[in-house]
Structure 1
Amino acid sequence: MSAQISNILQQAISHHQQGKLAAAEALYLQVLQTQPEHFDALQLLGVIAKQRGDAALAVTRLRQAIAIDAQQAIAHGNLGTALQDLGLSQEALASYDMALQLKPDYAMAWNNRGNTLRSMGKLPAALHNYDKALRLNPRYTEALLNRGIAQQEMDEHQQALQDFDEALTLTPQDAAIHFARAFSLQCLRLYEDAIAGYEVVLHLQAGHTQALCNRGICLQKMQQFSAAVESFERAIKIKPDYVKAHLQYGNTLRQMGRDDAAIAAYQTASNHCNDDAELAQINYALAAMGVIDTPAMSPAVYIADLFDQYATHFDEHLLEVLHYQIPALLSKAVSKHVKAEPGNYLDLGCGTGLCAAYLRPKASKLTGIDLSEKMLGQARKTGLYDELHCAEISDWLQLQDQDFDLIIAADVFVYIGDLNQVFAAASRVMQAEAVFGFSVETTHESADYILRSSQRYAHSYAYLQRLAQLHGFQIVEASQEIARQDKGEDVHAHILVMIKT
């Protein structure tokens, strides 16, 4: 390399390190005019392209560099991150593997390989890669943060906090670490500590809209509604198209009884929303407010998100706060009608497994279905189920070639308005004398079902009678009970037991 080229390259690297990307790029290109196959210039141009968000150009330039010298681990490592930005996870892993084959102690490649695995949902494998990076460099702040985030995603928040705290001893002014730490505290329902953490984030980065939104959610959980509203409004002022903030703003206003303002917030969220699943949740909230037509059922993503959030404290909240009675009431009702010998039992919307203790003693096989992976994780810990499946009820039932002696659905149909498909699917997998027991919230309105402002459906008894007759069931027991409490008021439910004829 000539002295002139060397000097130009050093100037370019100096500019690059100072964040002067345009000046660095111009000098790298000047090097290439003289030496078109200059590895460092091509490789570093690839890095600049990635920094600018042009992953496709980054891949092109990095592959050009590798074609010149395939023995440089750094180029393979950088190619991996660019490929990951394009969503090409398997190709990214292959690039990291090549980098690590050339340089086994390449801590950054282990960390970035962990990020790719985490994006693929392979969390234990991701943790293994972060561990490798940290064994090579125990003071690797980014790897500590990433390992903590992976543990967050596994609901291991106490372990995550240990990593975040250690990372903060190394870089105490890092807003990303403070944010991740606050989020784990929020997930642990340590709302005051979480709010304090988000305040630190906002001190370091005043326009951090996610911190403002999450701060608002914590305040909402603490029923400090006015302060929550202020936090959402700050986030929206900075980012007017922030759909999540508008949605949570609407939820808070609804809890305050400010229905018109809540509807306006939901409508604004809808206007900015480009995600079909998120839009379904917003429209569901509007339907519950009576603004648009009632959908046939709750959006699957709404149910999954709702119960994923509840999973770790669901039983405590239902039993101690809401005085939830349905599993005991329903299990007692169906026990009078099931056959004496053990049978094949199905728990629809099984949640954390509150019905399992009642069903297990008489079940030869007990299967649970739910839309929330995290609820199923809690159900799995009971050890009472033979099988657990994450699926939508009707879809799963349609695929079965087995018959069930008992199907039970405790507080599940409050998230399904039109029950015709569920009844048809259940009837298909039940022989004569099989038992179908479930609960629904009551309504005395003439409609078959209504969607309440609580975002839960209520069904008329006349509708349930028609469905039973249509799908070959006979009602053998029906009662009205107090299912739970909501804001201090009793919520009434029908407890029904049907026999397949």
Structure 2
Amino acid sequence: MSSSSAPEITTMLQQAVTLHQQGQLQAAGDLYQQVLTRQPDHFDALQLLGVIARQGGDAPSALKYLNAAIAVNPAQAIAHCNLGATLQDLGRSAEALASYDRALQLNPAYLLALNNRGNVLRSLGRLEESLQNYQHALQLKPDYAEALLNRGISLQAMDQHEAALADFDAAMQLKKNNIDACFARAVSLQHLQYVEEAIQDYDDVIHQQPHHAEAWCNRGICLQKLQHYEEALTSYGNALKIRPVYAKAQQQLGRVLQLLARDDEAIAAYGQALAQGADAEQINYALATLGKVAAPVASPAAYVTELFDQYAGHFDQHLLTVLDYQVPVLLVAALERQGPPQRSNSLDLGCGTGLCARFLRPWSTRLTGVDLSARMLEKARQTELYDDLHQMEIAAFLQQSSQHYDVIVAADVFVYIGDLHAVFAGVKKALCKGALFGFSCEVSSTADYLLQPSHRYAHSLPYLQALADAHDFVLLEASQAYARQDKGEKIRINIIVMQRK
């Protein structure tokens, strides 16, 4: 490069940067290319062409230019950070992490690299580590809105929604009309069952960005919970207009149509959801509740896990204050009438958040809980009433358990299992002779077991008696009661106590 061309290159580069900042990417890119024509190893032109390529969605070109820039000057943290972002776009998380690490070795106070490194760790499920990066960035710059937003999203993924809301609120204070923070805030409000407030936030997102399909879909779910079914249909319809291939919205649409007794339309929506990639087991389960396919022997494990993972944060309050849930009290009273041992090794099948634990603990020298939902088990762990907690399907747990129990209970668990033979075989194996097995189930007056439109199974008393006979149990007590409310109707259940022969 001649000395006379250096001022020309500097002027050209300044013009290109100005155009770049104005969003005129094509014009800026042409000028960066002209710089490279005069000086092929110009670091800034190479690095900024990589940025433009990434902004334009051309990841391979971005990688080419950024790697060339790093070859020219490997000591520039900005190029490593931009390379990390490009690798992140491509899903090459481990390589992206290494690029951010190099950027931070060169500049430990590089805020963008800290924030982006946190995002990669979050994508890898390393949530605690992601928090450390956001917190480091916020120590350096407390008003860093992006780090507040991303820390909130990691806290949200850890089911710490109250803490997440504080971060989303702070991010929105710093950056007005922050759509991402407003949407994330709505998601946490929805998880906490503040559905009216969540709808307000989704409305704010939609006002700013009418084509936000996720906001329309989640708004529909909130309206569905409030039993505003027609409004929910409109929200799902808008989501599907924006994104015609959207399995989640199609599946939710099917559920609302089913609740409105528009069964043919529900079947069509479920079919569309299946064609668009929805979980086939869950769709067939929904179709079974409409009588279109044979009912499975149990609810899909993924359905139960997802249902209760979402429900964990407000499970106890909703059951006890909204649904007037009585099963633990009724079941324990029935067991006490049959005289359970005062010092027992007790097992709580499908323990959930531990609603039965406070009744079982006074009897128990040892209390074990089993459930499919990790988030439910975390709530159970917080009660400090269990000696052991296991995340497993209950029949599998019973078959592999080496323990022998004096009392086994299953409160409101068999509503997710139709055929109970495997469970009874497992209980027989795990229960001491003469010991008690107490459980509840919804009442079927027709079939042995029946999958209801509520997506819950009911069982007949003759079927339960047949199970007792087949698996060496004596039926000590069978009483009917109302366990809870569902959409204003009282749900009738059987409370059963059996004794192992």
Structure 2 vs 1, CA of residues 466 and 19 (structure 1 numbering), >3 Å: closer, same or farther? Answer: farther
The 2-side partners of 1:99 and 1:351 are apart by: 45
| Structure 2 counterpart SS, 1:433 | strand
The 2-side partners of 1:95 and 1:426 are apart by: 54
Shift of 1:59: 4.7
Query: Counterpart in 2 of 1:191?
Result: 195
Kindly provide the amino acid, as one letter, of the partner of residue 17 in structure 1: Q
Structure 2 vs 1, CA of residues 171 and 461 (structure 1 numbering), >3 Å: closer, same or farther? Answer: same
2:137 corresponds to 1:100: no
Query: Counterpart in 1 of 2:422?
Result: 421
Query: Counterpart in 2 of 1:122?
Result: 126
Shift of 1:71: 1.9
Contact 1:37 1:68 in 2 (8 A): yes
Per-residue CA distance 1:97-133 (angstroms, 9 max, x = gap) = 2221211111111111221222233333322221211
Shift of 1:269: 1.9
With normalisation by structure 2, the TM-score equals 0.90
Structure 2 counterpart of 1:80, from 77, 81, 84:
84
Query: Counterpart in 2 of 1:171?
Result: 175
**Uncovered stretches (5+) of structure 2, i.e. residues with no partner:** none
Query: Counterpart in 1 of 2:404?
Result: 403
| Structure 2 counterpart SS, 1:309 | helix
Contact 2:148 2:170 in 1 (8 A): yes
Shift of 1:350: 0.7
2:261 corresponds to 1:260: no
Contact 1:452 1:458 in 2 (8 A): yes
Per-residue CA distance 1:17-52 (angstroms, 9 max, x = gap) = 344445555555565566555444443444344434
After superposition, residues 206-355 of structure 1 pair within 5 angstroms as 206-272=210-276, 274-275=277-278, 278-337=279-338, 340=341, 342-355=343-356
Contact 2:340 2:407 in 1 (8 A): no
| Structure 2 counterpart SS, 1:207 | coil
Query: Counterpart in 2 of 1:488?
Result: 488
After superposition, residues 321-470 of structure 1 pair within 5 angstroms as 321-337=322-338, 340=341, 342-445=343-446, 447-470=447-470
Contact 1:352 1:379 in 2 (8 A): yes
| Structure 2 counterpart SS, 1:418 | coil
Per-residue CA distance 1:272-319 (angstroms, 9 max, x = gap) = 2x24xx333222222111122212211222212222232222222222
Per-residue CA distance 1:172-225 (angstroms, 9 max, x = gap) = 122222212222333333333322222221121111111112222222222222
Query: Counterpart in 1 of 2:185?
Result: 181
RMSD: 2.7
Contact 2:59 2:90 in 1 (8 A): yes
Shift of 1:472: 3.6
| Structure 2 counterpart SS, 1:434 | strand
| Structure 2 counterpart SS, 1:495 | strand
Contact 1:326 1:483 in 2 (8 A): yes
Shift of 1:7: 5.1
| Structure 2 counterpart SS, 1:405 | strand
The 1-side partners of 2:61 and 2:449 are apart by: 55
Identity of aligned residues (%): 56
Shifted more, 408-417 versus 226-235: the winner is: 226-235
Query: Counterpart in 1 of 2:154?
Result: 150
Kindly provide the amino acid, as one letter, of the partner of residue 379 in structure 2: Q
Structure 2 vs 1, CA of residues 71 and 260 (structure 1 numbering), >3 Å: closer, same or farther? Answer: same
The 1-side partners of 2:400 and 2:20 are apart by: 58
| Structure 1 counterpart SS, 2:494 | strand
The 1-side partners of 2:358 and 2:472 are apart by: 29
Kindly provide the amino acid, as one letter, of the partner of residue 165 in structure 2: L
Shifted more, 257-266 versus 41-50: the winner is: 41-50
Contact 1:338 1:406 in 2 (8 A): no
Shifted more, 238-247 versus 61-70: the winner is: 61-70
Contact 1:366 1:384 in 2 (8 A): yes
Contact 2:402 2:430 in 1 (8 A): yes
Structure 2 vs 1, CA of residues 78 and 449 (structure 1 numbering), >3 Å: closer, same or farther? Answer: same
| Structure 1 counterpart SS, 2:431 | coil
Shift of 1:359: 0.7
| Greater than 6 Å deviation, 4+ residue runs | none
| Structure 2 counterpart SS, 1:346 | strand
The 2-side partners of 1:314 and 1:166 are apart by: 28
Structure 2 vs 1, CA of residues 421 and 244 (structure 1 numbering), >3 Å: closer, same or farther? Answer: same
The 2-side partners of 1:36 and 1:260 are apart by: 66
Kindly provide the amino acid, as one letter, of the partner of residue 175 in structure 1: I
The 1-side partners of 2:214 and 2:20 are apart by: 30
2:480 corresponds to 1:476: no
The 1-side partners of 2:419 and 2:40 are apart by: 67
Structure 2 vs 1, CA of residues 338 and 87 (structure 1 numbering), >3 Å: closer, same or farther? Answer: farther
The 2-side partners of 1:302 and 1:325 are apart by: 24
Shifted more, 380-389 versus 179-188: the winner is: 179-188
Query: Counterpart in 1 of 2:204?
Result: 200
The 2-side partners of 1:467 and 1:171 are apart by: 62
Kindly provide the amino acid, as one letter, of the partner of residue 231 in structure 1: S
Per-residue CA distance 1:447-477 (angstroms, 9 max, x = gap) = 3311100000112233333333333433333
Shifted more, 292-301 versus 6-15: the winner is: 6-15
Contact 2:343 2:365 in 1 (8 A): yes
Aligned residues between the structures:
497
Structure 2 vs 1, CA of residues 402 and 175 (structure 1 numbering), >3 Å: closer, same or farther? Answer: same
Contact 2:192 2:314 in 1 (8 A): no
Contact 2:281 2:300 in 1 (8 A): yes
Contact 2:435 2:499 in 1 (8 A): yes
Structure 2 vs 1, CA of residues 67 and 216 (structure 1 numbering), >3 Å: closer, same or farther? Answer: same
Shift of 1:327: 1.0
| Structure 2 counterpart SS, 1:455 | coil
